[in-house]
Amino acid sequence: MAKQFKHYESEATKFIAELKVKNPQLEEQQRAGRALLWDKTPLDLDKSARDKESRVEQSPYVYQNH
């Protein structure tokens, strides 16, 4: 049965292939968008520790006068 569908391409696959032919820079634009939104620089652990230590603890009821 698998041999029957060996050369089958779905409509979605055909659409994407056509889109890539019409717009060759599409994949590069996708990579740039991913880099912008998802690829982050590594965290600096020393800076994170210093930031955590330098925080001033806030009282639970900030609007209550003592």
Q: Is the pLDDT of residue 54 over 80?
A: yes
Q: Is residue 49 part of a domain?
A: no
Domain count, the chain: 1
Q: State how far the Cα of 40 lies from the Cα of 28, in Å rounded to an integer.
A: 18
Band of pLDDT at residue 3, cut at 50, 70 and 90: low
Q: Is the pLDDT of residue 14 over 90?
A: yes
Task: Count helices and strands (H / E) in the chain.
Answer: 3, 0
Q: State how far the Cα of 19 lies from the Cα of 11, in Å rounded to an integer.
A: 12
Q: State how far the Cα of 34 lies from the Cα of 36, in Å rounded to an integer.
A: 5
Q: Is residue 55 part of a domain?
A: no
Q: Is the pLDDT of residue 53 over 60?
A: yes
Q: Is residue 52 part of a domain?
A: no
16 is in which domain, residue-wise?
10-39
pLDDT > 70: what percent of the chain?
91
Q: Is the pLDDT of residue 1 over 60?
A: no
Q: Is the pLDDT of residue 6 over 80?
A: no
Q: Is residue 3 part of a domain?
A: no
